[in-house]
Chain A
Amino acid sequence: MTAATDKEAPKLPETDFTETPWLDPQAAPFIQIKSLSKEFDDFTAVDSISLDIYQGELFTILGGSGCGKSTLLRMLAGFENPSAGQIIIDGVDISDLPAYDRPVNMMFQSYAVFPHMTVAQNIAYGLKKDRLPNAEINSRVQEMLELVQLQDLAARKPKQLSGGQCQRVALARALIKRPKVLLLDEPLAALDKKLREQTQFELINLQHKLGTTFIVVTHDQEEAMTLSSRVAVMDAGRFVQIGTPLEVYEFPLNRFVADFFGTINLFDATVTSSVQVDSCTHTIEAALDKTGTLVKADCSHQLNQGDIISIGVRPEKLSISQKKPRGKNLTITNGIVEDLAYYGNRSIYRVRSHSGRMIQVSAQNFQRTKELVLEWDDQVYLSWDSSCSVVLPE
C-alpha cells in the first residue's frame, strides 16, 4: 500500500460529519451541560448530569414521569435554579441568567397561549419585550404566520382555535425571537393520533429549514424515535444511555433501556462459552435459566463462562412458524399461541413457551388470506438468528 504511491500521499476518505456532529472529534459542542444537579427538599431530581449537544441537533430526552426530564428542561429555560453545575450555550455560561435574559425559548406542554391576546399579539409578544420597531415586529410576525400557516387566523383569539392551531401559535411565538435553542416540552402530547403524526413531520421539516437546535422532552418513545437525531434515555435523574434512535433501539446498554425504548423479550441466562470471532465480536453461547435452551448471541466484549446475563430479543426479530425451522445460527424454542392481536399490516402473538413464560412476537402479514394463518392454541416454533440476540448485563 505504501510502496505503490510515492508522489501522492494516500488520502483518508473524508468523513462527512454534518449529520452526525457528535462523532466529529473536532466539533465544538453548542450546548454544554456540566455536572448539573437539582435537589429539592428531600430528593434529587437531576443527579449530576453532563451532556454535549451540537448545533442543529434535534435532541430528545426520554424518560418516564418523575425521572427528572422536566426539571432538566426547566433548568435550561431558567425556571429552576440548579443546585450545582453549569449550562453553557454557544460559549456563554447562562447558569445564573434569569429566564428573560437567556437565548433560549420554550414551547410549553399546555402551549400556554395567552388567552387575552390575538394570534398575532401572541406571536409578537417576545419582540415587543425586546422593544423592536413596530415595522420590524409586523414583518417578522407576518413571516412567522406564513411559516406555520396561520395567516388567515392572525386576528383570532385562542378560544377560537383548535388544539393543532394553538400548537402552531405556541411554536411561532417561541421561534420568533430566533433563539439559539428551542426547548419543547412534550410537544405532541396534547394532539390526537392522526394530527400527531402529521405534526411530527412538520416539526422535523421546520427544524431542518431553520437549523435551530431543538431539545425535546417526552415520555413517548415513538415520538423520540421519529423526531430525534439523538436520544438520551433518563431514569432517576441520570442519563442511562445516549445515542441515535437506532443505536438505542438495537444496542441498548441495559435492561431498563431495552424495556423502556420499545418492547423486548428478556431471558435470564448463564454463559456457557465465549469465542472471539474478530477484534470486536465474540460469539457466546448461553443456557436460558429454567429450560436450559442454548442461545447464541453476538457480543462486543469477552464474557466468562458462568457469567449471568440477560438475553433480549425484539418481537419483530422472532420468526413464528408451525414447521420446525432449520438454520445454522438459529435459536429455536416452541410454545402455544395464547393471545393474538390482528392489526392488519401485522399481527402480534403472545406465545407461552414450554417453560411457562410469555414471549411476544410481531409478524408482518405478508400474504393476503381469508383466515388467520395461526390461531389460538396452535403449537408453534419460535426462532431467531444469533445476531438478533441482545446481550445485556444482569
Chain B
Amino acid sequence: MSSHRGPSTFILSVLCFGFAFLYVPILVMMAYSFNDSALATVWGGFSTRWYSALLNNEQIINAALLSLKIAAVSATFATILGTLAGLALTRMRRFRGRFLFTGLIAAPLVMPEVITGLSLLLLFVSLQQLIGWPVSRGATTITIAHITFAMAYIAVIVQARLASMDESLEEAAMDLGGRPMQVTFDITLPLIAPSMISGWLLAFTLSLDDLVIASFTSGAGASTLPMVIFSKIKLGVTPDINALATIIIGTLSLGILIASWIILRSQRKTSAQRQSG
C-alpha cells in the first residue's frame, strides 16, 4: 500500500534502532581505541599510541600468532576429517550403525563447551599417564581439541551439500570410465569445494574465538589470544585491547568485502554470458 510513498517513519526508526543495537557498541569501542587517555572511560583526545603500544606488546603479538597457527592447522585437519566423515555418511549407502554415527557426528554441536573441554582434559591426562603422550599440554593439545569439535561442524556442512547433490553425477562419471577414486577427485570434491571452504572458514573462526576449550586443554606457556585478552580484562581493560579489537574487526570487514566483490563479479559474468547466448 505504501510502496510508492517510500518506507514509513515507523519502518525507518525500527531499522535504525536495530542497526544501532548491533553496531553502536562496536563503534564506541573502535572510537575508544584512538583515545589518548589510559582510562577506558574518559576521552582524552585523539591518538594512535595504543596501536604502537600493541605492536610492542610481545605477549599479545605472540598469543595472536599462536591463535592464528592453531586456527589454520586445526581448520585444515578438521576439514579433511570432516569431509571424509560426511562422504562416508552420505555415500556409503547401508552399513551397520549408520544412524548411530550420524547422531554421534552431530552430538558435539550441542555439547556444552565446558563438558567438551573437561572431557578432553581428562583424556589428555590419562593418555599421558598411560602412554606418556602428550608430554605436556600446550599448542598441540589445543589444536587436537579444536580439530575434534570443528570436525563435527564440517561433517554436517559437507553432508548437507552431498545430500542435495545429484548422485547420478557420480554415477555418470563412473559410467564413463572413472574409477571410484578418480570420480571423487574429478566430480565430488570440486562440487563440494565451496562447502569445504566455508567449513574451513567456520572452523578457523571457531578456533580463533574459543576460550573455554583452549583454557581446559592448554598448559603453561601456551596462551591463545582469547585467553590473554580474558586474563587482561580481569586486571582491568587497557585501551590496547580496544586497538587489537579494532584491527581484528577491520581485517574481518576487509575480508568480507573482498569475498562479496568476488561473488558479485562472478554472478555478473554468468548473467552477462547467459544474456549473450
Residues of A within 8 A of B (CB): 77-79, 98-101, 104-106, 108-110, 112, 114-116, 125-126, 129-130, 153, 156-157, 159-160, 170, 173-174, 177
**Contact B171–A79 (Cβ < 8 Å):** yes
Partner pick for B270 among A78, A130, A160, CB 8 A cutoff: A160
Given contacts A126-B177, A129-B177, A129-B182, contact A116 B190 (CB under 8 A): yes
Q: CB-nearest residue of chain B relative to A124?
A: B176
**Contact A159–B176 (Cβ < 8 Å):** no
Q: Give the chain B neighbours of A108 by CB distance below 8 A.
A: 168, 171-172
Partner pick for A177 among B166, B176, B179, B187, CB 8 A cutoff: B176
**Contact A114–B172 (Cβ < 8 Å):** yes
**Contact A100–B179 (Cβ < 8 Å):** yes
Q: Give the chain A neighbours of B177 by CB distance below 8 A.
A: 100-101, 126, 129-130, 177
Which residues of chain B in 144-172 are interfacial with respect to chain A, using CB atoms and an 8 Å cutoff? Answer: 166, 168-169, 171-172
**Contact A156–B176 (Cβ < 8 Å):** no
Nearest-CB distance from B176 to chain A (Å)? 4
**Contact A129–B171 (Cβ < 8 Å):** no
**Contact A114–B168 (Cβ < 8 Å):** no
Nearest-CB distance from B73 to chain A (Å)? 29
Q: CB-nearest residue of chain B relative to A153?
A: B277
Partner pick for B172 among A104, A112, A159, A177, CB 8 A cutoff: A112
The dominant DSSP class at the B interface is helix
Given contacts A112-B166, A114-B173, contact A129 B277 (CB under 8 A): no
Q: Give the chain B neighbours of A101 by CB distance below 8 A.
A: 177
**Contact B274–A106 (Cβ < 8 Å):** no
**Contact A125–B176 (Cβ < 8 Å):** yes
11 contacts between A and B (CB under 8 A): A100-B176, A105-B175, A106-B171, A108-B168, A108-B171, A110-B168, A112-B171, A125-B173, A126-B177, A130-B177, A170-B172
Q: Give the chain A neighbours of B182 by CB distance below 8 A.
A: 129
Q: Give the chain B neighbours of A174 by CB distance below 8 A.
A: 175-176
Given contacts A112-B166, A116-B190, A130-B177, contact A106 B172 (CB under 8 A): yes
**Contact B191–A115 (Cβ < 8 Å):** yes
**Contact B169–A114 (Cβ < 8 Å):** yes
Bound Cα distance A145, B37 (Å): 73
Q: CB-nearest residue of chain A relative to B275?
A: A160
Q: Give the chain B neighbours of A116 by CB distance below 8 A.
A: 190-191
Nearest-CB distance from B6 to chain A (Å)? 36
Can you list the 7 inter-chain pairs with the closest CB atoms, starting with the nearest? Answer: A129-B177, A126-B176, A112-B172, A112-B168, A108-B168, A99-B174, A116-B190
Nearest-CB distance from B212 to chain A (Å)? 40
Bound Cα distance A136, B196 (Å): 36
**Contact A99–B171 (Cβ < 8 Å):** yes
Bound Cα distance A126, B187 (Å): 13
Nearest-CB distance from A130 to chain B (Å)? 6
**Contact B273–A105 (Cβ < 8 Å):** no
**Contact B178–A100 (Cβ < 8 Å):** yes
Q: Give the chain A neighbours of B187 by CB distance below 8 A.
A: 114
Nearest-CB distance from B207 to chain A (Å)? 29
Nearest-CB distance from B186 to chain A (Å)? 8
Given contacts A156-B277, A159-B270, contact A105 B176 (CB under 8 A): yes
Bound Cα distance A99, B177 (Å): 7
What mask results when residues 57 to 69 of chain B are scored 1 for a CB within 8 Å of chain A, else 0? 0000000000000
Q: Give the chain B neighbours of A170 by CB distance below 8 A.
A: 172
